[in-house]
Structure 1
Amino acid sequence: MIFANIEYLFLLLLLIPYIVWYVMRRKKTEPTMQVSTTRMYMQAPRSWKIYLLHAPFVLRILTFVMIVLVLARPQTTDNWQNTEIEGIDIMLAVDVSTSMLAEDLKPNRIEAAKQVAAEFINGRPNDNIGLTIFAGEAFTQCPLTVDHGVLLNLFQSVSCDMVQRGMIEDGTALGMGLANAVSRLKDSKAKSKVVILLTDGVNNRGDISPLTAAEIAKQFGIRVYTIGVGTNGTAPYPMQTYAGVQYVQMPVEIDEQTMSQIAGTTNGNYFRATSNTKLKEVYREIDKLEKTKLNVKEFSKREEAYAVFALIAFLSILLEILLRNTVLKKIP
């Protein structure tokens, strides 16, 4: 509820001096009688009229308040927004091969990638975002959606255990991962279509080469940002043995040339993330490069809602008149 003439509400401040005046006047006009002791009156029954002595005063205040609210013109609103987004459709293509368990990023590459991507998703509430995961093969974990709660829940369930449990073949099929993401974007009507491809390896699986997938993306006007995850040199990798988990130093091999060619072919950029901080910086940079243009048209339908307040004011003043001329009538 809103008020068309909200300035009239300042009239309610007049109640303060009126209440003070009423209290002071009652003290001066109250009849008194001096007696030696009031003990005999302590057990005397009180008439119910005593409890109504201040009722006219309260009703008068209520009437005044209701009249002020009527003058302020309370209105109900029925607002809705017609949002037109010259938006961005984004597919995240994330490598879930077992090499993503390496712990050069903390706690490991896959968890660091999930955490930073979740922050990226939360920062873009108006975009359609989906998720493709790939290792030796690729599939869509979540299609394009504006329901980011669902997307984040599905993202959190992503892990390299999917490979270890045999749900997906191990390896790195960059071309298949990119092609899957492109297939989700090719029919999009958005003015800007983006794939963010994150991997820590070299393409060694799949029926589609990475550069072929990049050419397909280019044909559909899709820009690809590629991210290579992993430190330089070697990275600690947990190996399960009979004696428990043992760490070995695994060489970090990222095909940066191919990643750069994919990005270059589609007018995107290639980034290298060697730490958690660098990975966050990469996503911030992509966030700056891809901004949503949002046009919002707001329509509102207002209806006058003073009738209830006017009725309360009428009933209050009517009840005050009835009380003053019946049970609270004073004899001069």
Structure 2
Amino acid sequence: MFRFGEPIYLYLLIILPFLIAFYLYSNYKRRKKIRRYGDPELLAQLMPDVSKYRPDVKFWLVFAALTMVIFMLARPQFGSKMETVKRQGVETVVALDISNSMLAQDVTPSRLDKSKKLISRLVETFNNDKVALIVFAGEAFTQLPITSDYVSAKMFLETISPSLISTQGTDIRGAIDLAMKSFTPNEGVGRAIVLITDGENHEGGAVEAAKEAASKGVRVFVLGVGSPDGAPIPTEGQNEFRRDKDGNVIVTRLNEQMCQEIAQAGNGMYVRVDNTNRAERALNAEINKLAKADVETQVFTEFDEQFQVLAWLALLLLAAEIMILDRKNPLFKNVRLFKRD
């Protein structure tokens, strides 16, 4: 496995395009000044020791050396040993409703975007825990199998949209059943299902599924997103709202009663998600109460530093730059590495 020990230094790469632009601009200004004195070809004949190409070669050598130094500062490393380690943690499966009603904007910026931000912040609080991500609408499927790779969890989270599932609806039972299959077989681990939905148009069986999960020691937490007053559903890519077959604007409302029933059956907690972080704080507090047990995880435990290779390359490039003179060396006048056109 490859990684950078100090990735913050990679931000220094931003200066490289500006160095190139500055050098090209300086060359342009220099050529412009030369033209003021006379014909460039005639001036070149009057100054036979001046090389046309050597300054460019010297610049690119220094540029390459600087690039090597930046990567060297970031400390490139390769993992050399994989071990199975035991850590204290819990297992959480997040089931996210991505039906079209989640595009409603009665919470800012929308129900779906608010939910994704909440999940992202939840993942940031995990330490030695495992998380899985399920998305559902009229059917449910696993977006990310259970893992302790929080970077991947956030990456997969960014790609979620209602277009992932063509079958509309809110199959909460299917999401809970799939979540139960996502946990590892480890015993004694605290397990939770975090169900994030507006609860509209659910297809039945959700309460029974939550009861079954609770009977197996899995708590079901429900986060209701939206408002009971409801809001219209925007049409993606268009500046209008979805309408029914009669042409009326569709208004989607949070079904709090159904959400509360599922949470109660699942021995969990219901929290309504609004424009504050109240739901996030309440959920974190409940998950932290879960029993933590030894969770086996495969990780790289030894990383070898690789900066030495980059350091030697930088030194060689700088040495080559020093050895190349701006003017032609009279000792090597018959050696033409940089021929004129």
TM-score by length of 2: 0.55
- Please give the alpha-carbon distance, in whole angstroms, between the structure 2 residues aligned to 1:209 and 1:162: 23
Is 1:245 the equivalent of 2:239?
Answer: yes
CA contact (8 A) 1:175 1:203 kept: no
Give the drift of 1:84: 4.2
Counterpart secondary structure, 2:278 = helix
Q: SS of the counterpart of 2:105?
A: coil
Q: State the superposition RMSD in angstroms.
A: 2.7
Deviation, 1:188, is 4.1
Distance in 2 (CA, whole Å) between partners of 1:101 and 1:198 is 13
Q: Could you report, residue by residue, the CA deviation over 1:156-177 in whole angstroms, capped at 9, with x for unpaired residues?
A: 11111223xx3xx111111111
- On the 8 A contact 2:189/2:293 being kept in 1, the answer is no
Aligned counterparts, 1:120-199, within 5 A: 120-163=122-165, 166=166, 169-185=167-183, 187-199=185-197
* Structure 1 stretches of 4+ moved >6 Å: none
Distance 2:97 2:113 in 1: 12
Deviations 1:210-257 (A, max 9, x none): 02211220232100000111023121421369xx42147643433323
Which sections of structure 1, spanning at least 5 residues, go unmatched? 1-80, 296-332
Shift of 1:189: 2.6
Residue-by-residue CA offset, 1:166-197 (whole Å, 9 max, x unaligned): 3xx11111111111111212734342100000
- Find the residue that maps to 1:202 and give its secondary structure: coil
Query: What CA distance in whole angstroms lies between the structure 2 residues aligned with 1:189 and 1:102?
Result: 40
Structure 1 residues 29-57: Cα deviation after superposition (integer angstroms, max 9, x where no partner) = xxxxxxxxxxxxxxxxxxxxxxxxxxxxx
Contact residue 84 and residue 294 of structure 1 kept, 8 A: no
Cα separation, 1, equivalents of 2:99 and 2:210: 21
Q: Which residue of 2 aligns with 1:261?
A: 261
Residue pair 1:226, 1:271 contacting (<8 A) in 2 also? yes
Aligned pairs, number:
206
What is the CA distance between 1:82 and its match in structure 2? 9.2
What does residue 45 of structure 1 align with? none
Mapped partners of 1:245, 1:148: distance in 2: 35
Contact 2:98/2:137 (<8 A) preserved: yes
In 2, distance between residues paired with 1:250 and 1:108? 16
Contact 1:93 1:177 in 2 (8 A): yes
Rounded Cα–Cα distance in structure 2 between residues aligned with 1:160 and 1:198:
14
Distance in 1, matches of 2:236 and 2:192, equals: 38
Residue type matched to 1:286 in 2? L
- TM superposition score normalised by structure 1: 0.56
1:1-332 equivalence runs, <5 A: 84-163=86-165, 166=166, 169-185=167-183, 187-205=185-203, 209-239=205-235, 244-247=238-241, 250-273=250-273, 275-277=274-276, 280-291=277-288, 293=292
Per-residue CA deviations over 1:63-119 (Å, capped at 9, x if unaligned) read: xxxxxxxxxxxxxxxxxx996434210000000001111111222111111011101
Structure 1 counterpart SS, 2:181: helix
3-state SS of paired residue (1:143): strand
* 1:263 alignment partner, SS class: helix
